[in-house]
């Protein structure tokens, strides 16, 4: 079958409305359910923003892993730009957390699966840059990392970075470059949140959140001592003191 165009999809319901795109539940050419991401007009007409959407389309279609949201079809540029993704009926992990904390075994499953997706991206030479529950999607017994529009090559030396305040590593707040170490910190913040039911660093303002990342230790947890130590290594303030995602996953899998 030839690649479908945007007109080949029948929109059924708006799933989300972000700053740059709308995401609809839609029916594809064969009647299958998909999540259809359509960039806003101002994105399509802005060279920098349209380039980012095109990157997301190309990365999503080319990078395949069991725990990355699967890209089905896409058109990167132009009036008919779109990205069709597999539809995961559970929504985002952030939405799931609004209903209450995950059971410990479910949190463990989510972290092991998303952690494997991150390690895959790192092996391919990329950083995700925006690891957080809002970018993790929930299916039947499966968790998948999505939103690959923030991907950057590991060797990229530009100081511009993506990310969300609650999950940013201290060195990024001080003008450092993104790295696998800063990604480990973001993953550690999410791991703390999933395993304890609360974020480790909080604040009412951006300045309070920044100071918490830079100055405050993560609060005590009820986790088994070995897992608690591994989690605290991920949340070390200095990159050179920080543990790796792989080491943390090994401890988590045995706990």
Mind telling me the catalytic residues? 130
Binding-site entries: 41
Pair 18, 24: CB distance under 8 Å: no
How large is the C-alpha radius of gyration of the chain?
19
Per-residue burial over 196-218, b if 16 or more Cβ lie within 10 Å, else e, is: beebbbebeeeeebbebbeeeeb
Burial of 108-125, coded b for 16+ CB within 10 Å and e otherwise, reads bbbbebbbbbbbbbbeee
Binding site members for ATP: 41
Distance CA 109, CA 172 (A): 28
Q: What angle do CA 169, 157, 201 make, to 5 degrees?
A: 5
**Residues 251, 232: contact at Cβ < 8 Å?**
no
d(CA 252, CA 255): 5
Q: Torsions phi, psi of 153, nearest 5? A: -70, 145
CA 151 to chain centre: 10
């Amino acid at each position: 079958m030839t690649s479908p165009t945007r007109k080949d999809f029948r929109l059924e319901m708006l799933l989300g409305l972000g700053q740059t795109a709308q995401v609809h539940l839609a029916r594809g050419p064969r009647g299958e359910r998909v999540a259809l991401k359509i960039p806003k007009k101002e994105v399509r007409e802005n060279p920098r923003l349209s380039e980012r959407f095109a990157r997301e389309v190309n990365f999503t279609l080319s990078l395949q892993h069991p725990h990355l949201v699967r890209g089905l079809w896409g058109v990167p540029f132009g009036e008919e730009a779109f990205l069709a993704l597999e539809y995961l009926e559970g929504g985002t992990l952030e939405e799931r957390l609004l209903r209450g904390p995950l059971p410990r075994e479910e949190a463990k499953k989510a972290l092991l699966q998303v952690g494997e997706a991150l390690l895959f991206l790192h092996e391919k030479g990329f950083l995700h840059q925006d690891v957080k529950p809002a970018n993790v999607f929930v299916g039947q017994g499966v968790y998948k990392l999505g939103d690959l529009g923030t991907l950057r090559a590991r060797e990229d030396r530009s100081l511009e970075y993506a990310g969300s305040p609650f999950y940013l590593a201290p060195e990024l707040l001080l003008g450092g470059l993104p790295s696998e170490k800063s990604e480990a910190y973001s993953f550690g913040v999410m791991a703390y949140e999933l395993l304890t039911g609360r974020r480790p660093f909080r604040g009412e303002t951006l300045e309070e959140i920044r100071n918490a990342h830079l100055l405050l230790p993560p609060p005590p947890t009820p986790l088994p001592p070995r897992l608690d130590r591994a989690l605290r290594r991920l949340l070390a303030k200095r990159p050179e003191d920080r543990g790796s995602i792989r080491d943390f996953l090994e401890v988590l899998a045995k706990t």
